[in-house]
Amino acid sequence: MKTALLKKASKVALVLIPTITLSMAATAHDPSMHVKKAEKADCSKMDHSKMDMTDPVAIAMMKKCMKQAEKSNDKMDHSKMSKEMDHSKMKKMTDKNEKKDDHDEH
């Protein structure tokens, strides 16, 4: 009796768990939740000459932009890049569609 109940319970679980999991994924991807995209700070419009550096707002803005600049430098190391990425040695980038017919050598 007990095992029958247990079997039934596990069957129900087998159906319910994937269903719930999948439906949650569906709600998580509801487009309305993506309306707001995380934006990076737009530091280009900052006019330092007009900023009062005793104002907490100005200091906070500087901090944010400096941190953001540091971060993007971490990800992309330009000093190394210039050495290793030699565009002159790269093949000319071609459109994939152009090569459609080159199937001779497989």
Contact residues toward other proteins (CB under 8 A) are 36, 38-43, 45-46, 56-57, 59-61, 63-65, 67-68, 71
Find the shortest distance in angstroms from Cβ 57 to other proteins: 6
Closer to other proteins by Cβ: residue 34 or 92:
34
- Given the complex with other proteins, which of 17 and 59 has the nearer CB atom? 59
CB of 62 to other proteins, least distance (A): 8
Contacts with 61 (C-beta within 8 Å, 6 or more apart), sequence order: 43, 46, 51
Question: Closest approach of Cβ 60 to other proteins, in Å?
Answer: 4
Q: Which is nearer to other proteins, 8 or 71 (CB)?
A: 71
Instruction: Name the minimum Å distance from CB 78 to other proteins.
Output: 20
Q: What is the 3-state secondary structure (H, E, C) of the chain?
A: CHHHHHHHHHHHHHHHHHHHHHHHHHHHCCHHHHCCCCCCCCHHHCCHHHCCCCCHHHHHHHHHHHHHHHHHHHHCCHHHHHHHCCHHHCCCCCCHHHHHHCCCCC
- The residue (of 8 and 67) whose beta carbon lies closer to other proteins is 67
